[in-house]
C-alpha cells in the first residue's frame, strides 16, 4: 500500500512524501527532495515501532540540512583529487567544495535537487516509488547530460530495494549512492550494535581523504575485527581514532553480493545489505555533528552508513576501473536492505 502526501515546498514547487506499508506493518517513507529515505519503521522485540533512519519531520529541515540525511549522492560520490577528472584524453575541472577538492557531486549536488516523480504504486514486487533527475551537461563540471532514476521498493519480505539507473547519450562519470544513517535502536549511539562484514579487501586513502589506488587485504588489518560479529564499541577500540570510514571493493557482477550487516540486541532489529555495486563505504558517523531531527540527536556515532557505489577518485587513478554511463551502456546498480526482528543475532 502506498500513500502520497504534500511534505513542503521548495521555490514554490511541491515537495512530496510517499508512505509505503507492507503486509507485516513495516512502513517506509521517501521524499522527492534529494530522492531521500525519510523513515524506515518496523516492530522491535516488544512490538513497538522503531524508526531506524535518522532524519527530519519536515521538508524544510531537509532543505536546511548539510549532513545528507537519507539522500542520494551524485553525480559522483566521494572525494575527487584536484577537483578534476581525466577522460578520453581531456581534463574536466569540477566545482570546488573545498580548496583543491571536489566532494560528493559538488556545491549543488543531487541531494539538493527536487526530483521528478515518475511513477508510484503497487506491483508484483511490492509498493514502489520512482524518482528522476536530469543533470545538465557540465553541471558541476561533469561532461554529458545525465538522466538518473532511483526506484525504491518495499517488499513483503521486509526488503527495501534501491535500483539506480543513469543514462548518458555521450559519456559521463557516475558513482551514485545513498547516504542514510541507520540506528537500529531509533536513538542514542550505535555502540551496542553488532557488525559483521564479508569483503576481504579494502581501499587505501591518503591523509587528505583521497583514494590512492592501492588495495589491501582485510586480514591482519585493523578492520579485520569487523569480520567477527562483535559490538561496534569493541571494534572502535581496535580501529584507529575510533573512525570506521572504509571502502571495500566488491565483485560488481550481475547478481547481488552479500556485504554484511548490523544488529541491535536492544531492539532485536537487524539490517543485512546486498548489492551489485562496484564498491561500498561503511561509516560510523565519527564526524557527524548536525541538527537534531525527529526528536533524535544527530551527534557523533548516532548512526551507521552502508553506502554501495563506485570506486572514489577513479578518474585520477589508472589502477581503478572508471565508473561510466555512456551511450548504450547505462550505469545500473541494485541494492537490498533486508530487515528483521529476532531475539538472537542473525549476522
- Is a pLDDT exceeding 80 seen at residue 154? yes
Q: Model pTM greater than 0.85? A: yes
Which cell goes with 276? Answer: 551489485
CA distance 169 to 148: 12
CATH of residue 85: 2.70.98.10
For residue 251, tell me if it sits in a domain: yes
Confidence of residue 220 (pLDDT cuts 50, 70, 90): very high
For residue 209, tell me if it sits in a domain: yes
Number of domains, the chain:
1
pLDDT of residue 299: 95
For residue 314, tell me if it sits in a domain: yes
Q: Cβ–Cβ contacts within 10 Å for residue 46, how many?
A: 9
What is the chain's length? 347
Residues facing residue 86 across a β-bridge: 91
Cell numbers 560520490: residue: 77
Q: What is the mean pLDDT of residues 161-182?
A: 96
CA distance 48 to 41: 10
- Asked if residue 299 lies in contact with residue 289, where contact means CB atoms within 8 angstroms, the answer is yes
pLDDT of residue 347: 96
Q: Cβ–Cβ contacts within 10 Å for residue 344, how many?
A: 8
Element (H, E) at 129: strand 126-135
CA distance 16 to 5: 6
Closest CA to 30 of 108, 123, 102, 128: 128
pLDDT of residue 46: 97
pLDDT of residue 168: 96
Residues facing residue 31 across a β-bridge: 17, 36
Confidence of residue 87 (pLDDT cuts 50, 70, 90): confident
Q: What is the mean pLDDT of residues 47-51?
A: 98
CA distance 131 to 194: 33
Q: What is the mean pLDDT of residues 1-26?
A: 95
What share of the chain has pLDDT > 70, as a percent?
A: 100
Domain that holds residue 120: 2-341
Q: Where are the beta strands (DSSP E) in 27-99?
A: 27-31, 36-43, 49-51, 72-73, 79-81, 84-87, 90-93
Q: Cβ–Cβ contacts within 10 Å for residue 192, how many?
A: 16
Cell numbers 539506480: residue: 164
CA distance 31 to 308: 20
pLDDT of residue 11: 87
CA distance 104 to 152: 21
* Angle, CA 177 vertex, CA 172 and CA 179 arms, to 5°: 140
CA distance 10 to 19: 20
For residue 346, tell me if it sits in a domain: no
- Is a pLDDT exceeding 90 seen at residue 316? no
pLDDT of residue 204: 95
CA distance 41 to 154: 12
For residue 347, tell me if it sits in a domain: no
- Is a pLDDT exceeding 90 seen at residue 322? no
pLDDT of residue 254: 75
For residue 58, tell me if it sits in a domain: yes
For residue 41, tell me if it sits in a domain: yes
Amino acid at each position: 500500500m502506498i500513500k502520497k502526501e504534500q511534505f513542503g515546498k521548495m521555490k514554490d514547487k511541491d515537495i512530496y512524501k510517499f508512505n509505503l506499508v507492507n503486509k507485516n506493518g513495516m512502513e517506509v517513507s521517501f521524499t522527492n527532495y534529494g530522492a531521500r529515505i525519510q523513515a524506515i519503521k518496523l516492530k522491535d522485540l516488544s512490538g513497538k515501532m522503531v524508526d531506524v533512519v535518522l532524519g527530519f519531520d519536515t521538508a524544510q529541515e531537509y532543505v536546511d540540512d548539510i549532513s545528507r540525511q537519507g539522500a542520494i549522492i551524485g553525480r559522483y560520490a566521494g572525494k575527487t583529487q584536484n577537483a578534476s577528472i581525466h577522460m578520453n584524453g581531456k581534463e574536466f575541472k569540477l566545482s570546488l567544495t573545498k580548496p583543491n577538492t571536489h566532494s560528493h557531486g559538488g556545491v549543488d549536488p543531487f541531494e539538493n535537487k527536487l526530483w521528478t516523480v515518475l511513477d508510484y504504486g503497487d506491483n508484483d514486487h511490492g509498493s514502489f516509488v520512482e524518482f528522476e533527475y536530469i543533470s545538465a551537461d557540465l553541471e558541476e563540471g561533469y561532461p554529458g547530460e545525465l538522466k538518473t532514476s532511483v526506484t525504491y521498493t518495499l517488499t513483503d519480505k521486509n526488503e527495501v530495494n534501491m535500483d539506480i539507473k543513469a543514462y548518458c547519450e555521450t559519456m559521463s562519470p557516475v558513482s551514485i549512492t545513498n547516504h542514510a544513517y541507520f540506528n537500529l535502536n531509533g536513538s542514542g549511539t550505535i555502540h551496542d550494535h553488532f557488525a559483521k562484514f564479508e569483503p576481504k579487501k579494502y581501499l587505501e586513502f591518503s591523509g587528505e581523504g583521497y583514494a590512492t589506488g592501492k588495495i589491501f587485504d582485510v586480514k591482519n588489518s585493523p578492520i579485520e575485527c569487523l569480520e567477527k560479529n562483535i559490538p561496534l564499541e569493541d571494534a572502535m577500540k581496535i580501529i584507529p581514532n575510533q573512525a570506521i570510514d572504509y571502502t571495500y571493493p566488491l565483485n560488481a557482477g550481475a547478481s547481488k553480493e552479500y556485504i554484511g550487516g548490523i544488529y541491535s540486541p536492544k531492539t532485536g532489529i537487524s539490517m543485512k545489505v546486498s548489492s551489485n555495486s562496484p564498491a561500498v563505504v561503511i561509516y560510523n558517523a565519527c564526524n557527524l555533528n548536525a541538527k537534531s531531527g525527529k526528536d533524535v540527536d544527530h551527534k557523533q556515532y548516532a548512526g551507521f552508513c552502508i553506502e554501495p557505489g563506485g570506486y572514489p577518485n577513479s578518474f585520477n587513478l589508472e589502477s581503478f576501473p572508471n565508473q561510466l554511463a555512456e551511450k548504450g551502456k547505462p550505469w545500473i546498480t541494485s541494492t537490498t536492505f533486508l530487515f528483521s526482528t529476532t531475539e538472537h543475532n542473525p549476522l
